[in-house]
Structures are given as C-alpha cells and as structure tokens.
C-alpha cells in the first residue's frame, strides 16, 4: 500500500484545512470476497464508526464537525478535492481517502458500479456543508476545533496520520 498527502488552502468559500488529505492506494484487496465489509471492518477496528454505504455527492461539500474516511469498495471515480480550484484525483476499488474536516469534495464522474464506504472517528458526527454556506467565521472555528482521531482509519496507531497530521496539529 502506498499513501500520498495533498494540502488544500482556504479558497474563501471552501475552508479546507492545513491537515493534508491522505490517499491510501490499495488499502484493501478489491477482489476480496466482500470489499465493503472489509472496509467497514478495517475502519471499525481502528475506532472509526457511523459507517454508511453510498456514492459521493456530485456537488462541492465538506464537513465542519468531523473528519471522514472514504473506502472505495467497487468501481472508480474522479473526485475534485479542495473546491473548484482544487485537484481532481482518481480513486479506484481498494483505495481509501482520509478527508480532514473542511476539505471540499465533489464527484466529477464515476463508473456505474461505484460503491463507497464512509466512516468518522469515534465521537464525531458529520454535518453537511455546501459551497456558498453562510457564517464562514463560525464554520472555520468549527473546522479548527475538530480533534485529531485516536488512530489512523487504515493503519491504526501509526500510519500516515502520525506522519502527516500530528506535526501539523501542533502548529494549528
């Protein structure tokens, strides 16, 4: 498995976050008997719950009260992260994406079989914020107040969160 980190700056509308988005290529074997259950089990093992199964909204949105992990159980999608001027990434079956609170995401295109498993750190409940939301100062306060999760959703106690998020959080 390989991980990659991408930072998105506040674009004036989508707050984004100084914590980087983390892409885990090949987080699970996509040809396992049931990739959706494999992602749910993996996330739960590391303290991430509130799981859901669906796709990715086709509009810019973000969460100001929770970090989110997406596991791609089936299919493939092009997703724009970071707002309209952000970056489009391709995610495939077996990949996972850890999205810090405030980071915008929008499905650009997807295969017909796309299945996404989402989850949140224990104790966090996600709201749904869309581009153009009012109370930008309040939204940014909420994003900055979201605590770091206890463990990486894919690799547990160590993992990319320890490498990429903990050093940044000391300077927030």
Check whether 35 has a pLDDT greater than 90: yes
Gap between the Cα atoms of 172 and 131, Å rounded: 24
Give tens-digit pLDDT for 96-127. Answer: 999 999 999 999 999 999 999 999 999 999 99
pLDDT of residue 158: 84
Please state the pTM of the whole predicted model: 0.96
pLDDT of residue 167: 74
Delineate the domains of the chain, giving CATH numbers in brackets. 2-160 (2.60.120.10)
Question: Residues 6 or more apart from 121 whose CB is under 8 A from it?
Answer: 47, 48, 66, 67, 147, 149, 150, 153
- Closest by CA to 129, choosing from 149, 106, 102, is 102
Averaged confidence pLDDT in the chain: 95
β-strand pairing of 61-62 with 2-8:
unpaired
């Amino acid at each position: 498995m390989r991980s990659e980190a991408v930072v998105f700056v506040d674009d004036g509308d989508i707050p984004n976050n100084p914590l980087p988005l983390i892409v885990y290529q090949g987080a699970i074997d996509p040809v396992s008997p049931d990739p959706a259950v494999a992602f749910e089990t993996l996330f739960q093992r590391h303290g991430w719950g509130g799981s859901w199964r669906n796709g990715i909204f086709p509009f810019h949105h973000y969460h100001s009260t929770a970090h989110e992990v997406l596991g791609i159980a089936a299919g493939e999608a092009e997703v724009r992260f970071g707002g309209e001027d952000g970056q489009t990434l391709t995610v495939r079956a077996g990949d996972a994406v850890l999205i810090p609170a405030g980071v915008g995401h929008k499905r650009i295109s997807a295969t017909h079989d796309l299945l996404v498993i989402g989850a949140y750190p224990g104790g966090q409940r996600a709201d749904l914020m869309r581009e153009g939301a009012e109370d930008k100062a309040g939204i940014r306060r909420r994003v900055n107040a979201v605590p770091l999760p206890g463990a990486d959703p894919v690799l547990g106690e160590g993992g990319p969160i320890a490498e990429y998020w903990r050093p940044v959080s000391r300077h927030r």
